[in-house]
Structure 1
Amino acid sequence: MFITPLASLFRLVWRCLITLTGWLALSSYAMASDISREQFFSPTLGYSYPYTIYLPDGYDKDASAPYPVIYLLHGSFGNELDWATRGNLPLVANRLISAGHIPPAVFVMPGSRSWWVDGYNEPARSAFFNDLLPHIESTYNVGNTRHLRGVAGLSAGGFGALNFALERPDMFAAVAALSPASYVPAPPANSSANRHPAFLNEQGQFDQSLWERLNYNAHLEEYRIHVTPRPNSATSDIPPVPLYISAGRSDVYDAEFHARLLRQAMERIQPGYVRLDLYPGGHTWRVWRASLPAALNFMFQYVGHPKVLVE
């Protein structure tokens, strides 16, 4: 479809207004917390790794006890500003902390050009584990042990968060996947995965075999082995990672159906430690904003509690 220069200008101005409005909103949150956009050089990527970070009111870089930290991943073609400017993360975190529902915590919202995978366009998964986590843990007073870490994300970020938790259950105490784009056996025709550079081979075609190797169901058996108690043992060496899932009932990518498949698969491995919430709405920020408080409340039943071990 031909787009006129005037229409292109209008879209550019509209995007700028959205970003400006978001940052103006953030300035009001700063009264109770501190939020900033940062970056550092990533050896894995070979260029700067951007992230937005939320520090709670009263954050003390010299406190003897490190803060719990949640890594929040954005969706396909999103960026490190999304959760802060569109997802209401600062407002939600301030309210939950002020009400005593969750402890003072740090939230890291990284940016990625990929679907949080080592895909064709960038090694996003490797950069997350090899560069981002060490940078955050050496720069801020946050925990570097399993019980003080959680990971969450929306859509493609839900795909990534789920995979991170399944691949490395030794590193995360809880995971939340909001409308996760974890489609089995393949993404629907209207999914951006089909045109995202992360999954396009040298011929510009979607690589189905890569998708299958990277999707959550490829990790389930190894995860089950890690978290299932061995014979004559009451608990496993690595506890399961409790999982929160949400989806909109009118999601255009049929996220409810795929969320139910995911819950069923995970309940077989860790019964009682999977929660699925369904919301009116589609694959939109309305649903993700609505489910964020429930997701964080769920995660902080486990994050920050060293003695909470799931059998």
Structure 2
Amino acid sequence: MKQILFLIGIILSISCSKATHTGTIPSHNSSSTSVIDLSPTLQSQILGGEQHFSVYLPPSYATEPNKRYPVLYLLHGMNQNYKSWINEGALQAVADEVIAEGAKEMIIICPDGFNSFYYNRPQMRYEDFFIQEFIPEIERRYRILSEKSHRNIAGLSMGGFGATYLAFQYHNLFGNAYSTSGGFIEPAMSLLKGIINTKLPTQKNFFPSYTLECGEEDSLVIESNRVFSQFLDEKQINYTKIFRQGTHNWLFWKESLPKILRSVR
């Protein structure tokens, strides 16, 4: 197993510069009052110790204290962290722009997923932490709409798999999911297919809205995305497929981000 995980790390390892920002970052756009907060933590009994995450609060959050918002859990890739979508993905600027253009105001939460693939493994019960501790605490602290239809999850590479896995495994929690350059590799792929197959007979109608996006020149994951797409087609699961020019890098993911944000319900 250690050898398999090492190979996974080699395949999906993504160069990511060290994040240097700390604390709260107000928007640089004078017409917006959105805020990025890199400082929050929560204590986890499951993982042990203090867990970090970052938050995007939309422009009206401070001025409309009774308003509640849809939430997007935005997952990072392997060898990245909870600051990557902000530092490398320009999350605040992109979110401000798409909201100004008419997208829903939303709260965006970027957890620290380590290299967990966001599901339970012997060395880390990340899935249990995320479902049992992280989501309840986040939705206690922030003014988030509680309905499934307003709970969204998305991610890149490893996080694309994680978003897909969590959305289908916990379809009672998530109304919408989006994967860009998803890391659908073994043994994670077989686990995901097994979960979907098990739920198909009785729960298919409750599956979330889902988008699968991948670059056609992405030699790391394009074939596995095609395989997963074919699987969804064979199971007659409704979803949106976007195969377009691009590879496994931040240029591609930054082009995906506005679509992810506009898909938030």
Name the TM-score, length of structure 2 as normaliser.
0.84
Following superposition, the deviation at residue 23 of structure 1 comes to: 7.0
Q: Which residue of 1 aligns with 2:113?
A: 112
Answer yes or no: is the 8 Å Cα contact 1:247–1:278 preserved in 2.
Answer: yes
Q: SS of 2:56's equivalent?
A: strand
Percent identity of paired positions between Structure 1 and Structure 2:
24
Residue in structure 2 matched with residue 244 of structure 1 by the alignment: 211
The partner residue of 2:222 within 256, 277, 281 is 256
In structure 2, the residue corresponding to 1:80 is in which secondary structure?
coil
Distance 1:95 1:166, change over 3 A: same
Deviation readout 1:128-176 (Å, 9 max, x if unpaired): 0011101111100002220110111111111111110110111111100
Change (3 A) 1:182 1:107: same
Which residue in 2 is equivalent to 1:86? 88
Q: In structure 1, what is the equivalent of residue 104 of structure 2?
A: 103
Task: Supply the RMSD in Å over aligned alpha carbons.
Answer: 2.5
Structure 2 portions without partners, runs of 5+: 1-15
Alignment of 1:189-228 (within 5 A): 211=188, 215-228=191-204
| TM-score normalised per structure 1 | 0.72
Q: 1:173 is matched with which residue?
A: 175
Distance in 1 separating the partners of 2:72 and 2:134? 13
Q: How does 1:120-135 map to 2 (within 5 A)?
A: 120-135=122-137
Change (3 A) 1:115 1:154: same
Aligned residue number for residue 161 of structure 2 = 159
Q: Which has the larger radius of gyration?
A: 1
Mark the CA change 1:30 to 1:48 in structure 2 (over 3 Å): closer, same or farther: farther
Classify the secondary structure of the residue corresponding to 2:139.
helix
Please say if 1:35 is aligned against 2:11.
no
Give the SS at the match of 1:52: strand
Residues 156-197 of structure 1: per-residue CA shift (max 9 Å, x gap) = 1111111101101111111001110012xx3xxxxxxxxxxx
1:283 aligned partner:
248
The CA deviation at 1:98 is 0.7
1:58 partner SS: coil
CA distance in 1, matches of 2:194, 2:218: 24
In structure 1, give the amino acid aligned to 2:173: M
Alpha-carbon spacing, 1:30–1:216, altered in 2? closer, same or farther (3 Å) = farther
Provide structure 1 residue ranges, at least 5 long, that are not aligned to the other structure. 1-13, 187-207, 229-235, 304-311
Higher strand share: 2
Per the alignment, do residues 122 and 143 of structure 1 end up closer, same or farther by CA in structure 2, a change over 3 Å counting? same
What is the one-letter code of the residue matched to 1:259?
A: N
| Structure 1 counterpart of 2:128, one-letter code | S
Specify whether residues 289 and 23 from structure 1 end up closer, same or farther in structure 2 by C-alpha distance, changes over 3 A only.
Answer: farther
Residue aligned with 1:152, SS? strand
**Structure 2 letter corresponding to 1:283:** H
Match of 2:232 in 1: 266
Q: Using a 3 Å threshold, how does the CA distance of structure 1 residues 111 and 293 change in structure 2: closer, same or farther? A: same
Structure 1 counterpart of 2:112, one-letter code: G
Cα distance per residue 1:40-79 (max 9 Å; x no partner): 1111111111100000001058744421000001111210
Instruction: Please list the CA deviations of residues 201-253 of structure 1 after superposition, one character each: whole Å capped at 9, or x if unmatched.
Output: xxxxxxx5xx466x32121112313433xxxxxxx4xx321111111121131
